[in-house]
Each structure stands twice: as C-alpha cells, then as structure tokens.
Amino acid sequence: MRLKYFIVVLSVACLVPISGWSQSANKLDELVIEDEGTEPGEATLETDTKKSGPVAELYGFVQTDAGYNAGRIHPDWFDTVRPSELPSYENEFGEDGDAYFSVRQTRFGIKSWLPTDKGDVKGIFEWELFGVGGDAGQTTIRLRHAYLQYGKFGAGQYWSPFMDINVFPNSLEYWGPSGMAFFRNVQIRYMPVMTETNHVTIALERPGASGDNGHYNDIIEERGLKGHFPLPDLSAEYRHSGDWGYVEAAGILRNIEWDDFVDDDVDLSGSATGWGINLSTNLVLGANGSTLRASVLYGEGIENYMNDSTADIAVVENPGNTLRPLTGELIPVWGLVAFYDINWNDQWTSSVGFSMISLDYDDTAALPDTFDEGRYALANVQYHPVDQVMFGAELQYGARDNFSDGWTYDAFRVQFSFRYKYSMMLGGNK
C-alpha cells in the first residue's frame, strides 16, 4: 500500500471572521438587510426621502481599551477573548498575567445617499485599526465594509446573510461571542421582501474554506493537492419583526473541492457540500428596551463563517481503499449565544451573557491538541454622560478544550474602555 498521503489544501478566500462591537437592538430598517443597532459609528444604510441631492455622512469613534489578563493568549490577540487562541499546552505563551492597552477598535466610515427618480443609491465605505491575517497583532488600517445598494439589489463586502449582527451584545471586548456566526464577505444579494415586519435576503458569496491537516501536515507539499471553488456560497435569511423584537432563520450551502495532480495510482481528489442553519432572535424584555439576544447554530463545513473557529475539513483514514487511502470529512460545528442587554436609564447600561462553540473531530486524524470547544462570557457596566461619550468596565472569561489530550485552559480578564463618537453630515437640504 502506498504512503497515506493526504491533505485538504483549501486557501481561505478572505479574512477570518472578524469581530463585532457594542450593538443594541433596533427594528429592521425597511431598506436594508439588517439594522445594525445604535452602536457609535456602525454601518447602517438609512434613507430620508426629504433629502435632495447627494448626501454623505462622515462618522466613527475613537476608543481606548486598557485591561489585565490573568491568563495568557496568543500575542496577536492580546486585546481580545478568543478561546481558539488560548494556550494549547502549559506555558505556550509564557507565564500567566498580562496588562494591555489598545486603540484598535477605533473606526472611521463614510455613508452616502444619492437620490434618483427610481430610489436612492446607498453606499458604505468603512475602516478600522484592527489588523488580522498577515497584519494580525498590529494597529493598522483595515477594510470593514465596501458596499453599494440600489433598490432590492446590493453588492460588495458586507454582513453575510447567514449571520445576525443584532445578536452581538453590548460588550467592550472586541472579538465577541465564540458561538456566533460572524462574517463580512464579498457578495451579490437580492432582497425580494423588505417590509416593516418581514425581510428576505438571498446572496451569492465569495467561497473559501480551510483544511485541518492533522497527522499528515508534513507531506502537504509532497502530495500537492489543490483546492478550488467552482461555485459561490449560497446564503439566505428570513426575519419577522414586531414591537416585541424579531425572530430570524438563516441557511447556507457551499461546495468545496480539492484536486490531486500527482501522476500515480493514488487519487485523493474529492469534494464536499457544506451546510448550516442559524436561528436567532432579539426579544424586548424589561424596562427601557432591555433586550435578550440569542442564537443557536449547527452545520458542517461552515467554520470560516464562525466568529471563532478553525478548519472546515478534517482528514479521515479510509482503510481497505488503496486508491483513496484517505479522504476529507466536513467538521460538524454547533454554536450557542445568550446575552441580556440592560438599559437601566439614559446614562447607564449593562450586558451579561454566555456563548460556546463545539466541534466534532471524532474519527478524524486531528492532532490531540486541536481546538475542540470554546466558552466565552462577560458582564459589564457602561456610563454615558452624554450621547457621544462612554466609560465602561467589563469582566471577561474565556476557556478552551483540546480534542483528545485532556488539556483545558481558562482565564479571566478585566477591561476598562473609553469611547468618543462623532458624526458629520454633508450635502442635502440645509
């Protein structure tokens, strides 16, 4: 029998799922796929039919975070709580205990409206300072949104319909709940239903996936498999809203293929179809619009749409098959989010809640220290002396379990944040 060569080499089509920020519930904007809440500087496309001529809004905020991590995390993620980036073995990132300071949540954006006889053309161009990918750990300019919408059609980089941004809690921590779908992706979308109570979105999204090489990582280049994506990812969402809040159901389908170009008797080419279902809600419970935010998600091969996860496909041995001794298998994943945002009054708010993500690597060739489960929790209090200013303190918790070596690690952090937001309108009626 030949050497058991195999690896699923599927390049990540775009950046890992990126963080959320303080969000608060709001009704769905009838002209947008999702209303992203009242977070300062958040990207939201609204239309005022009273405006005449082109209108632009310059907006954003400056935020400073300072805190103390009683544990450790990968240095590139020093100012976040990402369970997948917590140590996978003793002292991987040094001794516990680390103070940190950051301005990486600082953001700047431009929203525009161009009135026409057949409706407004709307756009968002937005950046922040949080480096990821090759810039991970750096304070550097990074694109968040580049999106245009006209009528029922939209195109550009924007929230995937598979995710629900309104589930994100009113947190100070940047990265957000580990069990939440969170992905800004390049897409073309159609919104056939856009009313105050019902909203439907269908999108074709840029594809991409990643492989967990497991025990076969050392022979990636020797085998030379190549991943490709002949079809875009297909996503859709439906939301029903009322004065009580909303419920939403979303789904995704994606095709993943890999080719074996080595000229021998072993063919490790293959394909798989990833899928996922995401159910979410915001329920107005309590005084002053206090809101319960929750979601539950399950799927296979959709990890790159998750807020904190790893690979989409794992290596699986295929005994007795000399032509294909190894194959690829989609990794099942489920996620849970449950947070309660409390509005005590006009100046004081809080958020408390929990999230978790769990992966299923059973019967795969995953390494013993592979990230298998993550847990995330926080509780905070925020003070808003005026609309533009926020001071806050937050207790944060993150935990990680490895696949099969028995390793578990958890850590507490405390963070203090200061934010100043701004907005300026240009054009339109004066």
Beta-carbon contacts of 78 under 8 Å, excluding residues fewer than 6 positions away, are 69, 98, 100, 102, 137
State the pLDDT at residue 38.
Answer: 37
- How does residue 214 score in pLDDT terms, banded at 50, 70 and 90? low
19 has a pLDDT exceeding 60: no
- How does residue 142 score in pLDDT terms, banded at 50, 70 and 90? very high
Q: For 12, phi and psi rounded to 5 degrees? A: -70, 120
Q: Taking a C-beta distance cutoff of 8 angstroms, is the pair 146, 45 a contact? A: no
30 has a pLDDT exceeding 60: no
State the pLDDT at residue 429.
Answer: 63
State the pLDDT at residue 34.
Answer: 39
* Higher pLDDT among residues 241 and 39, named by residue: 241
Tell me which of 200-214, 297-311, 414-428 is least confident.
Answer: 200-214
DSSP string, 313-327: EEEEE-TT-SS-SEE
State the pLDDT at residue 320.
Answer: 81
86 has a pLDDT exceeding 80: yes
State the pLDDT at residue 26.
Answer: 32
261 has a pLDDT exceeding 80: no
Return d(Cα 48, Cα 50) in angstroms, integer.
Answer: 5
Averaged pLDDT score across all residues of the chain: 86
Mean pLDDT calculated for residue range 250-264? 86
Tell me which of 5-14, 43-52, 313-322 is least confident.
Answer: 5-14
49 has a pLDDT exceeding 50: no
17 has a pLDDT exceeding 70: no
Alpha-carbon separation of residue 193 from 151, 152, 202, 254 (angstroms): 11, 8, 10, 24
Alpha-helical regions (H) of 57-150: none
Return d(Cα 302, Cα 332) in angstroms, integer.
Answer: 8
- How does residue 186 score in pLDDT terms, banded at 50, 70 and 90? very high
State the pLDDT at residue 196.
Answer: 94
Alpha-carbon separation of residue 282 from 243, 273, 346, 375 (angstroms): 11, 30, 20, 21
Tell me which of 17-21, 114-118, 150-154 is least confident.
Answer: 17-21
183 has a pLDDT exceeding 50: yes
State the pLDDT at residue 228.
Answer: 80
pTM of the predicted structure, to 2 decimals: 0.86
- How does residue 23 score in pLDDT terms, banded at 50, 70 and 90? very low
- How does residue 213 score in pLDDT terms, banded at 50, 70 and 90? low
- How does residue 264 score in pLDDT terms, banded at 50, 70 and 90? confident
- How does residue 318 score in pLDDT terms, banded at 50, 70 and 90? confident
43 has a pLDDT exceeding 60: no
Domains contained in the chain, CATH given: 55-427 (2.40.160.10)
Q: For 307, phi and psi rounded to 5 degrees? A: -70, -30
Indicate the pairing of strand 225-228 with strand 332-343. unpaired
Mean pLDDT calculated for residue range 84-100? 97
Kindly state the tokens that stand for 199.
Answer: 């909203």
Q: Taking a C-beta distance cutoff of 8 angstroms, is the pair 107, 58 a contact? A: no
Tell me which of 217-231, 271-285, 367-381 is least confident.
Answer: 217-231
Return d(Cα 385, Cα 109) in angstroms, integer.
Answer: 24
36 has a pLDDT exceeding 60: no
